[in-house]
């Protein structure tokens, strides 16, 4: 059994060469939102959910993005409502959010 049921990585990379990056699209703020939301719902901790930031995940043009393990599901998101839907559907109920999947 893995230490976490779900490990969620938010790309928060910021590029300085003019190419798009997740970091310039509020990724850190939405990662912080997801961490707080998971904690408030009692989803955080061993055997549950861990939300982390990640460096570049090399899908910048599709960003901002997250990847959820162990399922290896990649999502594009833009708002707190998108993050809420991923938390509710995927992390709580095990259903992939197809409209956000990349």
Can you give the pLDDT at residue 52?
Answer: 96
Q: What is the pLDDT of residue 22?
A: 80
Domain 6-100, second-level architecture: 3-Layer(aba) Sandwich (3.40)
With beta carbons less than 8 A apart as the criterion, state whether 97 and 90 touch: yes
Reading the block at residue 22, the tokens are: 């997740």
- Alpha carbons 34 and 37: distance in angstroms, whole number: 5
Residues in the chain with pLDDT values less than 50: none
pTM of the entire predicted model: 0.93
Q: Is the dihedral of CA 94, 95, 99, 102 positive or negative?
A: positive
pLDDT tens digits along 89-101: 999 999 999 999 9
What are the structural domain ranges in the chain?
6-100
């Amino acid at each position: 059994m893995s230490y976490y049921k779900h490990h969620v990585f938010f790309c928060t990379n910021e590029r300085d060469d003019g190419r798009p990056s997740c970091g310039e699209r509020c990724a850190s703020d939405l990662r912080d939102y997801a961490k707080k939301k998971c904690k408030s719902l009692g989803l955080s901790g061993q055997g549950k959910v861990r939300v982390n930031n990640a460096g570049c995940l090399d899908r910048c043009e599709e960003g901002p993005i997250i990847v959820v393990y162990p399922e290896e599901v990649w999502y594009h998101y833009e708002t707190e409502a998108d993050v809420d839907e991923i938390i509710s559907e995927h992390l709580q109920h095990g259903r992939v959010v197809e409209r956000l999947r990349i």
